Chains A and B, each alone.
Chain A
Amino acid sequence: MSLETVDSEGQHIASAVSDEVVINLSQVNKWYGDFHVLKDIDLTVYKGERIVICGPSGSGKSTLIRCINRLEEHQRGDIQVNGVTMDTNLKNIDAIRRDVGMVFQQFNLFPHLTVLENCTLAPIWVKNMAKSEAESVAMTLLERVQIPEQAAKYPGQLSGGQQQRVAIARSLAMNPNIMLFDEPTSALDPEMISEVLDVMVGLAESGMTMLVVTHEMGFAKRVADRVIFMDQGEIVEQNTPDEFFNNPKSDRTKLFLSQILAH
């Protein structure tokens, strides 16, 4: 299986999508009380694939990726991550969370710990890694997101863009093979968006499987292997970025694109 994307501008990052399935959702349904947030979601994600999920607010896109690491519980249907079935078995949930990293809109760094301690907390306490080893891993990652000099500072002393890059480094410290991004740039000032997107592009180049909920359509065009459009809890349309932006099939997609690309 291979999803070929041909970008007219030639800027698209070469994808290395294998035919190994890492995430499989079938007929997933979720309700908040009477509100039906996710309706019969079917989604298969392959190793190394980069998926951008977009759609109007309240369409269920955040809920969808939050179901993948059980921050939200789905009520019907099956979710499998790396072959492990998501159920009420705590060991399965632990196993899935060890393999899946997540970056939040509001960063959610631990304000009582330094940047370095933020990145070493989980490796030390979940993976039982030696502190010195965890610190050297963390420093390597902080260099990768280009803020090693901030290691001794507290999150409250950093800018939004720096905080989000720390959050990415913190997730990577657990060495996940899937990364979920829940609107990672929506809480940032405009001039800080690119520094975070640059880090994400770098991550894509390294072959990470990524699911990104975002409104950054430039990022989608450049990085995504597949763009998924959700509305009212359903996957309305999914396609290569080229087809998705230039030749949308559904009226709802056309309307959405006309709204966000209007300016």
Chain B
Amino acid sequence: MAVLEKGSPHRASRSLSEWLHDERVRSVLYQAIVAIVVIAVARYLFINTSENLQARGMSAGFDFLSTGAGFSIAWSVLPYTAGDSYFHVYLVGIGNTLMVAFVAIICTTLLGFLVGIMRLSKNWLIAQVASWYVEILRNTPLLLQILFWFLAVFSLLPRPNKSLSLLDLFYLNNRGLYIPAPVPGDGFNITLIAVLVAVGATYAQAVWARKRHFDTGQRFPAFWTGLGILFGLPLLVFLVTGAPLTFDYPALKGFNFLGGASVPPAFCALLLALVIYHSAYMAEAVRAGIMSVSHGQTEAAYSLGLRPGMTLRLVIIPQAMRAVVPPMISNWMNVVKNSSLAIAIGYPDLVAVYMQTSLNQSGHAIEIVAMVMLFYMSVSLSISMALNYYNKIVQLKER
């Protein structure tokens, strides 16, 4: 009976209005409309662009990548000389961006954890200092902070001949930060191998110490032993092979420093601004993560005799990380993306050297913008994938 009632005679007699109010028809209809609109817009953009390019006698395509760029770049991680190809400029820009972003992400994470835990401190003064730090830095624009560090701090440093100096090895002046550059001699490779061996040995002894603890209950000072191996072994090998490493020290020659390695003031300002600004956000993520673990967990751990340090390590942090990781992902991606504000103070990052100078010279706007977008997207998606994978591992299992 039921089958008959639902049968075709009834369906055929449906009015248009009834048909339009069918849930299934609706969903197909909406998707079709969206698809048509997207295709129409894409077609318009493509036709419009190619017509305009033709009208101006410009050619599209990536042939320009192999032609020489003909301008110089003030400072770069990768070697570059004026006249290298545009593709080389792209790589140099990526190198400079990744350099500042990588260092900034590491420092941001460490500083963020420190400030976040400080803000939860029972010590009134420490908690207040941390909370003012977060509130001031989070509530002012990043561009303003970058300009502040560049214009009000690093540009106002003394001239090279009156440099601030630490132990006559490190110099800071309005031209940048100068540090001694290591120059490896014959046989230094053996020390590098020793470093690798030491890292492996440290890891192995940590695994062994953990296994021994689980097997026999006996504890081993794995941290201090590891520290000893990590530094002791390479140092020993280094000395035995006759200390084959010299340093190229920066020295004042005329009006400027020569020798050593250096980073420009714009790098210092950008790095400091990125680290300080994002560490405030990271601190909030860490604080929220720790606070998301109920106080009952701490009480249960204490009642079992666990000390506060162990409670934090074995009970609180593993649970807090679930809440910390998602905001940490977006924070790291923001560090990479916000490093493009470098253009405001003349640090030669990808946007400055490629999307600004190269684009102006070559005119290949679409290709260049697409390549820059591709870079930022790949970095962001890689970070996101790595941390999402981690997040999946630490998720709680419930029924």
A residues with CB within 8 A of B: 69-71, 94, 97-98, 100-102, 104, 106, 108-112, 121-122, 124-133, 154, 156-157, 167, 170-171, 174
What is the number of residues of chain B that contact chain A, defined by CB distance less than 8 Å?
Answer: 29
Contact B302 A97 (CB under 8 A): yes
Could you say which of A108, A133, A156, A174 contacts B297, with CB atoms under 8 Å apart?
A: A108
B368 to chain A, nearest CB (A): 47
Q: For B56, what are the chain A residues with a Cβ–Cβ distance below 8 Å?
A: none
Q: How far is the CB of B291 from chain A (nearest CB, A)?
A: 16
Chain B residues within 8 Å of A109, by CB: 300
Which of A94, A127, A157 makes the CB contact (< 8 A) with B397?
A157
Q: Among B213, B297, B305, B399, which residue has its beta carbon within 8 angstroms of that of A97?
A: B305
Contacts of A106 in B (CB 8 A): 294, 296
B306 contacts which of A71, A125, A129, A132 (Cβ < 8 Å)? A125
Residue of B nearest to A153 (CB): B397
Residues of A within 8 A of B219 (CB): 128
Q: Determine how close the nearest CB of chain B comes to the CB of A133; give it in whole angstroms.
A: 7
CA distance A102 to B299 in the complex (A): 10
Q: Is the CB of A130 within 8 A of B296?
A: no
Given the complex, which residues of A lie within 8 Å of B301, measured CB to CB?
A: 110, 122
Q: List 8 A-B contacts (CB under 8 A).
A: A69-B303, A104-B300, A109-B300, A110-B315, A126-B304, A133-B217, A167-B300, A171-B304
Q: Is B213 in contact with A122, judged by CB distance below 8 angstroms?
A: no
In the complex the two chains form, is B299's CB within 8 Å of A104's CB?
A: yes
A-B contact count (CB 8 A): 91
Which residues from A are CB-within-8-Å of B314?
121, 125
Inter-chain contacts of B294 with A (CB < 8 A)? 106, 108
Q: Judge whether A104 and B213 touch: CB under 8 Å.
A: no
Q: Which of B272-319 contact A (CB under 8 A)?
A: 294, 296-297, 299-307, 310, 314-315, 318-319
A contact residues around B302 at 8 Å (CB): 69-71, 97
Q: Return the chain B residue nearest A125 by Cβ.
A: B310
Known pairs A122-B305, A130-B214 / 12 extra A-B pairs, C-beta < 8 Å: A70-B302, A97-B302, A101-B303, A102-B303, A106-B294, A108-B300, A109-B300, A126-B304, A131-B217, A132-B214, A170-B304, A171-B304
Q: Which residues of A contact B297 (CB under 8 A)?
A: 108, 110
Contacts of B303 in A (CB 8 A): 69, 71, 97, 100-102, 171
B216 lies within 8 A of chain A by Cβ:
yes
Cβ-based interface call for B186 (8 A): no
B215 contacts partner chain A, Cβ-Cβ < 8 Å = yes
Given contacts A112-B396, A154-B397, A156-B398, A129 and B217 within 8 Å (CB-CB): yes
Please list the residues of chain B having a beta carbon within 8 angstroms of any beta carbon in chain A. Answer: 213-219, 294, 296-297, 299-307, 310, 314-315, 318-319, 394, 396-399
Query: Known: A71-B299, A102-B303, A108-B296. Contact between A124 and B398, CB under 8 A?
Result: no
A71 to B297 Cα, complex, angstroms: 12
Q: Specify which chain A residues have a CB less than 8 angstroms from the CB of B215 in the assembled complex.
A: 130-132
Q: How far is the CA of A127 from the CA of B307 in the complex (A)?
A: 12
The complex places the Cα of A134 from the Cα of B73 at a distance, in Å, of 63
**What is the bound-complex CA distance between A76 and B215, given in angstroms?**
45
Selected contact of A156 from candidates B306, B394, B397, CB within 8 Å: B397
A95 to B189 alpha-carbon distance, docked (Å): 53
B129 to chain A, nearest CB (A): 25
8 closest A-B pairs by CB: A156-B398, A131-B214, A108-B300, A122-B304, A102-B303, A108-B296, A130-B217, A128-B217
Q: Which residues of A contact B319 (CB under 8 A)?
A: 110-112
B37 → chain A closest CB, angstroms: 45
- B313 — nearest CB in chain A belongs to which residue? A125
Q: Do A104 and B217 form a contact, CB below 8 Å, given A112-B396, A122-B305, A174-B305? A: no
Asked if B305 contacts A154 (CB within 8 A), the reply is no
- CB of B10 to closest CB in A, whole Å: 48
